[in-house]
Amino acid sequence: MSEALIKHFAKKLIAWHGVDGRQGLPWQSVRDPYAVWVSEIMLQQTQVATVLERYPRFMKRFPTIKKLAAAPLDDVLAEWAGLGYYTRARNLHACAKQVVEAFGGKFPSDTILLEQLKGIGRSTAGAIAAFAFHERAPILDANVKRILARLFGIEGTIQEKAVNDQLWLLAKKLLPNNAADMPVYTQALMDFGATWCTSRKPVCLTGIKRCPFAKDCQANLSDQVLVLPRKVIKAKSPEFDCDMLLLRHGDTVLLQKRPEKAIWGGLWSLPESEWRAKEKNLAGHAQRSEAYLTSKDLFKLVLPNEKTFTALKSCKPIERGLEIKHIFTHRRLWMQIWHVSTSDAVKLSGGDLQWVSLRQLGKYGLPQPIKLLLQALSLVRGDDLRS
DNA sequence: AAGGCGGGGAG
DNA sequence: CTCCCAGCCTT
């Protein structure tokens, strides 16, 4: 039973793709390894609908790997803003430099070499090798893990190394014999997982369409489709408070470049306090930042991390602006926005603080909630941030 | 092996 | 709300 499935899987899947696969995605018809690579990185943990909007923009902005490698990192981050997981953008830039310097701007076709490049792991290396070079290299993304766990009735969680090893072994065994089939086969795998063998509403349970593997699928035969692959119970995401300073001077706003390792790493954001564990009771209020007008019209904002913004003359009275709730995958953040304007721009000595013209904001990569905040306050139009 | 890292869509 | 996603990297 299992052996027959392994033998005919690729052929059946490709046949399925011919009828019910996704067609017309802009990166599907592409053979240029650079274009394939960009699409694979952008699609990591990011939905197709989002990438459909952003991929053409990125390719227009950075049409070749040499132009990407030669661009300032800040420009790449600005183009990536809103997509999340900004390490991808830094790695993309670093990888472009690697390929230009070590391989003359041409991606290697060998997965061993591909995996040594920044931001390219085993699965992405397989996808690039398959799509761009017709290599018989497997992928193992969330789609494939789910398909295989169900087809072969694999118990145990995906995190376990033994399970992961087993899945990679299966992925390799299922590859089509003909290397020329690798692009369509790899695409078919992704399409099948994304549209038919889905996590929550697989077609085998809806009864409308007939899964070509219904009679082979261990999960289907044992009524385990919805529980495979086994989920890991996740802890509730912790909650934080922080204060942010929206300081305006004329048509400029004060931005601060974020450290690379933090969340929104490398993006430009508002100066902020350190994050504090959110206190549900009022006792936590004592921890809040203090913002007040000092004598002689000097503005002073004292943040809990002891960073102090002072010596700003002629500030308008301090508004304690809106509080923004932002939800990450693993965190919840309440941002208290302190909206202040001054007629006297403070002289900036540090490199990470910068006055930025509102019209120039589009050149800066902003965290999505900050971008939305500035739009909501009509400080900037959507078009200005589209660049 | 576990945790960090965004954002948006689906249910 | 919760869960999920064309993962990778660091610890």
Q: For nucleotide C6, give the residue with the nearest CA to its C1'.
A: A43
**CB < 7 A to strand C: residues 17-36, chain A:** 22, 25, 27-28
Residue A105: its pLDDT value, please?
Answer: 98
Predicted pLDDT at A294: 39
Indicate if the pLDDT at residue A296 is higher than 50.
no
Query: Per the structure, how many domains does chain A have?
Result: 2
Q: What is the pLDDT of residue A274?
A: 79
- Could you tell me which of A287, A253, A285, A288 has the C-alpha nearest to residue A271? A253
Question: Within chain A, how many helices (H) and strands (E) appear?
Answer: 15, 10
Residue A193: helix, strand or coil by DSSP? helix
Helix, strand, or coil (residue A230): strand
Q: What is the pLDDT of residue A287?
A: 46
Decide if A92 contacts A117 (C-beta within 8 A). no
pLDDT at A219: 97
Interatomic distance A165 CA / C2 C1' (Å): 29
| Whether A14 and A94 share a structural domain | yes
Q: pLDDT tens across A155-167, in order?
A: 999 989 999 999 9
In this predicted model, what pLDDT tens digit does every residue of A120-129 receive, in sequence order?
999 999 999 9
Give yes or no for residue A131 having a pLDDT over 70: yes
Contact by Cβ (8 Å): A66, A100: yes
CA-to-C1' span, A52 to B10 (A): 18
Confidence of residue A322 (pLDDT cuts 50, 70, 90): confident
Distance in angstroms (rounded) separating the CA atoms of residues A94 and A188: 30
Look at residue A92 in the predicted model and tell me its pLDDT.
Answer: 98
- Give strand letter and number of the nucleotide nearest A87 (CA to C1'): B5
pLDDT at A323 over 80: yes
Task: Tell which of A179, A202, A227 closes a domain.
Answer: A227
Report yes or no on A189 lying in a domain: yes
CATH number, residue A283: 3.90.79.10
* A162 and A81 in a common domain: yes
Statement to judge: residues A211 and A255 lie in one domain: no
* Residue A295 pLDDT > 50: no
Asked if residue A234 belongs to a domain, the reply is no
* Percentage above 90 pLDDT, chain A: 69
Confidence label for A286 from pLDDT (cuts 50, 70 and 90): very low
Residues A63, A111, single domain; the answer is yes
Decide: helix, strand or coil at residue A226: helix
Confirm if A292 and A300 have CB atoms less than 8 A apart: yes
A53 is a catalytic site residue: no
In a domain, A175, yes or no: yes
pLDDT of residue A285: 43
Q: What is the mean pLDDT of chain A?
A: 87
* Within a domain: A232: no
Same domain as A253, residue A215: no
Q: Where a domain ends, among A172, A206, A227?
A: A227
Domain end marker among A227, A247, A276: A227
User: Tokens for A325?
Assistant: 């709730």
Lowest mean pLDDT among A188-197, A199-208, A282-291, A337-346: A282-291
Residue A382 has pLDDT above 70, yes or no: no
Q: Same domain, yes or no, for A150 and A261?
A: no
Q: Which two tokens stand for residue A268?
A: 């430009």
In the predicted model, is pLDDT for residue A107 greater than 70?
yes
- Judge if the beta carbon of A127 is closer than 7 A to nucleic acid strand C: yes
Q: Is the CB of A241 under 7 A from strand C?
A: no
Mark out the alpha helices in chain A (DSSP H runs): 2-20, 33-42, 48-61, 65-70, 73-80, 87-103, 111-114, 122-133, 142-151, 161-173, 182-191, 203-206, 218-221, 368-376, 382-386
Residues A143-166 have a mean pLDDT of 95
Quick check: A234 CB within 7 A of strand C?
Answer: yes
| pLDDT tens digits for range A83-96 | 999 999 999 999 99
Domain with A37 in it:
2-227
CATH number at residue A111: 1.10.340.30
Residues A192, A105 share a domain: yes
Of A171, A79, A87, the closest CA to residue A125 belongs to A171
The pLDDT of residue A271: 86
Q: Calculate the angstrom distance between C1' of C5 and CA of A285.
A: 37
State whether A262 and A213 are in the same domain: no
Rounded mean pLDDT, A119-144: 98
Across the range A230-251, mean pLDDT stands at 87
Report whether pLDDT(A312) > 80: no
Provide the pLDDT for residue A4: 87
- Residues A327, A348 within the same domain: yes
Q: What percent of chain A has pLDDT over 70?
A: 85
A190 touches strand C (CB under 7 A): yes
Least confident of A70-79, A101-110, A310-319, A364-373: A310-319
Question: Nearest residue to C1, CA vs C1'?
Answer: A327
